């Protein structure tokens, strides 16, 4: 589909086709059990206006769509690593896109929400999201990759529809650090100037940007939010997320209480007061004029707490959100027009340079080289966050998060220890060389493959034991994914 309209005009035409969904939940089908959660809501005579469902096997999504007929759905995708310069050349891209298209169709979703982040970078695999390099070149590459996914969704639109589901780009959380040469809101401004995508503004992610950038040293949270919103393309925000924040499991407890605890994005944790205050500030902004939905993101949270927080938030914000969504929108012609479409704005991207920048990023984030150069200047000045990531967070991710290796492979781990192989050696081994993926990204399956490889190199005599344990894990995982049953902790 070729458009001569500016990205802003294209966006508004697309946004007009998106229904008002209201105040709902962003959930995982497995954790907590979605059917149990919804029946608890029925008992409480409460109803989320919609459910945004995180990526799951098609069969599990079909089951959800068959059994929860009265609630509208939206889709939270995963595995489309649009921040990466090699995105369009990824061998598994077509399979990932076909999966996303199928999931969108099953859920009849008006949008595809995806983090502007990656778990796979320059051949290195991570368990949780790493934000993009906040540079202009990287923003241009993201815009181009998002446009290519949008084109695929438009090609597969339903008969009679003018467009496919809208790509929503979510501003990702920071896990202690970020690198770049431009501000985060300006980065998203550049992306949206180049492509007609919508945005998701996640309040918890916004808090982590305050906490892990220089902003916390020079302004209050309120001032930070005010200046962030001034720069951020708020008129593109279609959905707002609100979720919990908490210190990481591997974090050393702080000896004295702090106004700036080392919280990270934590969906299982309670939503703190500061997040509700920030939400209030965002909702009152006049440029928030294309909002269609607000969701509490509650995967892995105890059911009782979800119901309680939803009730409290409905009482406090329900009327405001209702008024905001019902209000009349300005005519398209009266809107700010950026001249030219994607083609006119998209200067040639130096992909070779960007690939080198991301390879450097992967090596710095895994402690294999120091943060130097213009992009890493801020991190080099204050490296506490990066150090925290390298020495506490990342080893936890490889050894325990999304599947604790000693629980997954009890016999193998015991034998490794008897053979004098220390399991912590698995962490530097994991990152000692890049390894391109051979199947769609799945951190749990990746852990199994990599542990077998590690055992094969370090203690080949134990391979038989490890393979036996791996077979049991793979088949239990496949069974759990095909149904709607919890297996491991959420992989978000
Ligand atoms: Fe979110």
Residue 422 CA to ligand 1 center (angstroms) comes to 36
What Cα–Cα distance (Å) separates residue 172 from each residue in 113, 134, 188, 228, 297? 12, 12, 11, 15, 14
Query: Ligand 1 centroid to 199 CA: how many Å?
Result: 11
Q: How far is the CA of 303 from the centre of ligand 1 (A)?
A: 19
CA distance 411 to 424: 16
Assign 199 to helix, strand or coil: strand
- Position 421 scores a pLDDT of 96
The continuous run of DSSP H or E covering 278 comes out as: helix 273-283
pLDDT for 169-187, tens place per residue? Answer: 999 999 999 999 999 999 9
Q: How far apart are CA 415 and CA 19, in angstroms?
A: 57
Ligand 1 mean position, distance from CA 189 (Å): 19
User: What does the pLDDT read at residue 345?
Assistant: 46
Q: For residue 59, how many other CB atoms are within 10 A of its CB?
A: 13
pLDDT tens readout for residues 25-37: 999 998 899 999 9
Query: How many whole angstroms from 202 Cα to the centroid of ligand 1?
Result: 5
Residues 6+ apart with CB under 8 A from 343: none
Angle subtended at Cα 440 by Cα 467 and Cα 191, rounded to the nearest 5 degrees: 150
Give, rounded to a whole angstrom, the gap between the first and last alpha carbons of the chain. Answer: 33
pLDDT of residue 249: 75
Over 60: is that where the pLDDT of 256 sits? Answer: no
- The rounded Å distance from CA 310 to ligand 1 centre is 16
Query: How much distance in Å is there from the Cα of 240 to the middle of ligand 1?
Result: 8
Q: How far apart are CA 463 and CA 147, in angstroms?
A: 45
Q: What is the pLDDT of residues 291-343, one digit of tens each?
A: 999 999 999 999 999 999 999 999 999 999 999 898 766 655 444 433 334 44
Alpha helices in 166-232 (DSSP H): 184-194, 203-211, 215-218, 221-231
Q: Give CA–CA dist 314/321, Å, rounded.
A: 9
| CA atoms of 197 and 168, how far apart (whole Å) | 6
Span from the CA of 133 to the centroid of ligand 1 (angstroms): 19
Find the 471 Cα to ligand 1 centroid distance in Å: 34
Q: Mind listing the pLDDT tens digit for each residue in 45-96?
A: 999 999 999 999 999 999 999 999 899 999 999 999 999 999 998 888 999 9
Burial 97-119 (b: 16+ CB within 10 A, else e): bebbbebbebbebbbbbbbbbbb
**Mean per-residue pLDDT for 131-158?**
96
- Report the separation in Å between the CA atom of 337 and the middle of ligand 1, taken as the mean of its atom positions: 29
Give me the pLDDT at residue 481, please. 81
| CA nearest to 388, candidates 179, 206, 211, 248 | 248
Decide if pLDDT at 168 tops 80.
Answer: yes
Percent of the chain with pLDDT over 70: 91
The CA distance from 2 to 476, in Å, is 46
Chain mean pLDDT for the chain: 91
pLDDT at 440 over 90: no
- What tens digit of pLDDT does each residue of 92-136 get? 899 999 999 999 999 999 999 999 999 999 999 999 999 999 999
> What band does 480 get if pLDDT is binned at 50, 70 and 90?
confident
In angstroms, what is the span from residue 423 Cα to ligand 1's centroid? 33
- Residue 90 CA to ligand 1 center (angstroms) comes to 25
Cα of 347 to ligand 1 centre, how many Å? Answer: 30
Q: How far is the CA of 201 from the centre of ligand 1 (A)?
A: 7
Report CA(333)–ligand 1 centroid distance (Å): 32
Distance, CA 297 to ligand 1 centroid (Å)? 6
Length of the chain counted residue by residue: 492
Question: Residue 286: is its pLDDT beyond 60?
Answer: yes
Q: What is the mean pLDDT of residues 390-411?
A: 95
469 token code pair: 């344990």
* Å from CA of 466 to ligand 1 middle: 36
> How are the residues of the chain apportioned to helix, strand and coil, as percentages rounded to the nearest 5?
50, 10, 40
CA of 413 to the centre of ligand 1 (A): 35
Q: Give pLDDT, residue 329.
A: 66
How much distance in Å is there from the Cα of 356 to the middle of ligand 1? 29
Distance 243 CA to ligand 1 centre (A): 7
Write out pLDDT tens, residues 204-246: 999 999 999 989 889 999 999 999 999 999 999 999 999 999 8
Distance between Cα 206 and ligand 1 center (Å): 10
Q: How far apart are CA 203 and CA 241, in angstroms?
A: 6
């Amino acid at each position: 589909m070729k458009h001569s309209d500016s990205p802003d005009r294209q966006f508004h035409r697309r946004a007009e086709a998106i229904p008002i969904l209201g105040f709902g939940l962003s959930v995982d089908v497995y954790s907590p059990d979605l059917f149990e959660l919804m029946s608890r809501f029925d008992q409480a005579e409460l109803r989320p206006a919609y459910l945004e469902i995180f990526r799951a096997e098609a069969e599990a999504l079909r089951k959800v769509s068959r059994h929860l007929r009265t609630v509208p759905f939206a889709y939270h995708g995963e595995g489309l690593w649009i921040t990466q310069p090699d995105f369009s050349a990824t061998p598994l891209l077509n399979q990932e896109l076909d999966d996303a298209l199928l999931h969108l169709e099953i859920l009849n979703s008006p949008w595809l929400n995806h983090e502007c982040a990656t778990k796979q970078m320059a051949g290195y695999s991570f368990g949780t999201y790493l934000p993009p390099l906040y540079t202009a070149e990287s923003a241009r590459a993201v815009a181009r990759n998002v446009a290519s996914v949008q084109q695929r969704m438009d090609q597969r639109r339903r008969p009679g529809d003018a467009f496919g589901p809208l790509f929503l780009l979510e501003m990702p959380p920071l896990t202690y650090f970020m690198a770049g040469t431009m501000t985060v809101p300006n980065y998203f401004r550049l992306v949206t100037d180049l492509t007609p995508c919508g945005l998701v503004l996640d309040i918890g992610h916004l808090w982590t940007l305050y906490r892990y950038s220089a902003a916390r040293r020079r302004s209050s949270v309120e001032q930070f939010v005010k200046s962030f919103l001034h720069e951020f393309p708020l008129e593109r925000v279609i959905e707002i997320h609100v979720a919990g924040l908490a210190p990481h499991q591997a974090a050393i407890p702080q000896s004295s209480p702090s106004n700036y605890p080392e919280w990270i994005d934590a969906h299982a944790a309670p939503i703190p007061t500061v997040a509700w205050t920030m939400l209030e500030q965002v909702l009152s902004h006049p440029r928030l004029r294309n909002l269609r939905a607000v969701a509490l993101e509650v995967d892995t949270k105890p059911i009782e707490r979800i119901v309680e927080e939803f009730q409290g938030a409905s009482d406090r914000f329900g009327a405001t959100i209702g008024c905001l969504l019902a209000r009349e929108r300005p005519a398209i012609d009266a809107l700010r027009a950026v001249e030219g479409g994607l083609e006119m704005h998209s200067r040639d991207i130096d992909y070779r340079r960007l690939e080198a920048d991301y390879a450097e990023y992967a090596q710095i984030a895994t402690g294999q080289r120091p943060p130097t150069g213009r992009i890493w200047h801020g991190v080099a000045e204050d490296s506490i966050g990066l150090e925290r990531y390298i020495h506490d967070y990342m080893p936890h991710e490889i050894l325990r998060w999304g599947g604790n290796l000693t629980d997954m492979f009890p016999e193998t781990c015991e034998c490794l220890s008897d053979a004098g192989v220390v399991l912590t050696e698995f962490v530097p081994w994991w990152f000692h060389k890049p390894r391109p993926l051979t199947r769609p990204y799945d951190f749990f399956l990746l852990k199994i493959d990599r542990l077998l490889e590690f055992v094969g190199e370090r203690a080949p005599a134990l391979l038989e034991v490890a393979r036996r344990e791996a077979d049991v894990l793979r088949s239990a995982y496949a069974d759990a994914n095909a149904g709607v049953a919890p297996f491991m902790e959420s992989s978000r």
